[in-house]
Amino acid sequence: MENWDALRTARWLAKLGTISATAAHLGVHRATVVRHVDGLEEALGGKLFQRHAKGYRPTEAGQDMLAVASAAAEQFQALAGRTRGRSAGVRGELVLTSIALLAPILAPALAQFHTLHPDCIVHYEASERDYKLAYGEAHVAVRAGAKPKHPDNVVQPYLTLRSALYAHRSYIEQHGLPSLDQDCRGHVFVGDANPTSRASFAKWMRARFPQAPVVFSSANGAVNDAAVRAGLGIGFLPTRLAQSPDLVQVHPPEPEWDVPFWLLTHVDLHRTPKVQSICRLLKECI
């Protein structure tokens, strides 16, 4: 690109606001920054920045330039991510994203992957955020809920997580065994931090026990899991993660509480050795 260096310089000037900060960030001389901006303004036929006492502020044309430059930078980042993922050998890094609660289920597959490919570093991004596979933010995603519909992703059914209500034995010893088919008087709960959560079990709790005292809450399922295991109250746990003699099931699973998970890869990386290897191991581990 004929004006790429100048466009990149102008983008950072718009973000940082001063010639000196931009030069330091890019590792160039201040005169280079000025030359790039002046040349770009001449090429585009208009002023991109308004000079003021404290630095530079983008004009309306400068805001348009910033949008174009940012989009170009994102496209280059996406290209870099896809190119790294296409490498023939299984090396470098593998980024998998899912919720923290699923880590105990996925960890055995990641351990096997490391054994098979010791030259590849595994990163587990535990987050509710929708990582953009097209931009190379992750190689593989395991996501909950309705089937994703992004046209550039390969979407495969992965697992259905079944949940039930549990309490720790220390809680039962202190409060007794609840009979949730009748009422919840004398009992406390661990719940979702979002009072309007659309999760099926959260809606069930609001409908069945609208006045249930919630003594601990978090938007992170793994944190709520730890709170139930610590005896803080009654809460929802996945049945496959609750195989402990210290946990007592106080209400069996309801079909409406089932949560489907999907295995996602980007179409450009789906057939690469790295992605094929981890997907095979992820499927085997369940």
Q: Is 23 a residue whose pLDDT tops 60? A: yes
More confident residue, 139 or 180: 139
Domain that holds residue 149: 92-161+260-284
Whether residues 205 and 73 share a domain: the answer is no
pLDDT band at 154 (very low <50, low <70, confident <90, very high): very high
Q: What is each CA distance from 81 to 47, 77, 85, 99, 269, in whole angstroms?
A: 34, 6, 6, 22, 10
Task: Please report the pLDDT score of residue 187 as a whole number.
Answer: 87
Task: Please report the pLDDT score of residue 170 as a whole number.
Answer: 95
Residue where a domain stops, chosen among 85, 114, 146: 85
d(Cα 230, Cα 23) in Å, to the nearest integer? 53
Whether residues 18 and 129 share a domain: the answer is no
pLDDT digit string, tens, across residues 197-223:
777 878 888 887 777 788 898 888 899
Task: Please report the pLDDT score of residue 95 as a whole number.
Answer: 93
Closest-CA residue to 140 (of 35, 270, 242): 270
CB neighbour class for 248 (10 Å; exposed up to 12, middle 13-18, buried from 19): middle
Whether residues 122 and 190 share a domain: the answer is no
Write the CATH number for 46. 1.10.10.10
pLDDT digit string, tens, across residues 235-268:
999 999 999 999 999 999 999 899 999 999 998 8
pLDDT digit string, tens, across residues 44-103:
888 989 888 888 888 988 888 888 887 777 777 666 666 555 545 678 899 999 999 999
Residue where a domain stops, chosen among 85, 115, 145: 85
pLDDT band at 193 (very low <50, low <70, confident <90, very high): confident
Whether residues 28 and 142 share a domain: the answer is no
Whether residues 150 and 213 share a domain: the answer is no
pLDDT band at 2 (very low <50, low <70, confident <90, very high): low
SS (H, E, C) the chain: CCCHHHHHHHHHHHHHCCHHHHHHHHCCCHHHHHHHHHHHHHHHCCCCEEEECCEEEECHHHHHHHHHHHHHHHHHHHHHHHHHHCCCCCCEEEEEEECHHHHHHHHHHHHHHHHHCCCEEEEEEECCCCCCHHHCCCCEEEEECCCCCCCCEEEEEEEEECEEEEEEHHHHHHHCCCCCCCCCCCCCEEEECCCCCCCHHHHHHHHHCCCCCEEEEECCHHHHHHHHHCCCCEEEEEHHHCCCCCEEEEECCCHHHCEEEEEEEECCCCCCHHHHHHHHHHHHCC
Task: Please report the pLDDT score of residue 263 as a whole number.
Answer: 97
End-to-end CA distance of the chain: 48
Whether residues 179 and 252 share a domain: the answer is yes
The pTM of the full predicted model, rounded to 2 decimals, is 0.66
Q: Is 111 a residue whose pLDDT tops 60? A: yes
More confident residue, 186 or 137: 137
Q: What is each CA distance from 265 to 87, 99, 120, 154, 279, in whole angstroms?
A: 16, 16, 18, 5, 9
Whether residues 12 and 153 share a domain: the answer is no
Whether residues 210 and 270 share a domain: the answer is no
Whether residues 271 and 249 share a domain: the answer is no
Q: Is 142 a residue whose pLDDT tops 90? A: yes
Residue where a domain stops, chosen among 85, 105, 130: 85
Whether residues 137 and 251 share a domain: the answer is no
pLDDT digit string, tens, across residues 170-181:
999 999 888 766
Range of 128-142, 175-189, 272-286 with top mean pLDDT: 272-286
pLDDT band at 132 (very low <50, low <70, confident <90, very high): confident
Specify which residues 247 forms β-bridges with: 168
Q: Is 146 a residue whose pLDDT tops 60? A: yes
Q: Is 276 a residue whose pLDDT tops 90? A: yes
Write the CATH number for 241. 3.40.190.10
d(Cα 197, Cα 144) in Å, to the nearest integer? 14
Q: Is 226 a residue whose pLDDT tops 90? A: yes
Task: Please give the radius of gyration of the chain, using alpha carbons only, rounded to the nearest integer.
Answer: 26
Whether residues 62 and 47 share a domain: the answer is yes
Report residue 115 CA to chain centroid gap: 25
Task: Give the residue-averaged pLDDT of 24-34.
Answer: 89
Q: Please count the structural domains in the chain.
A: 3
Specify which residues 248 forms β-bridges with: 167
* Average predicted confidence (pLDDT) for the chain: 87
d(Cα 250, Cα 175) in Å, to the nearest integer? 12
Please state which of the ranges 122-136, 173-187, 222-236 shows the lowest mean pLDDT.
173-187
Whether residues 125 and 186 share a domain: the answer is no
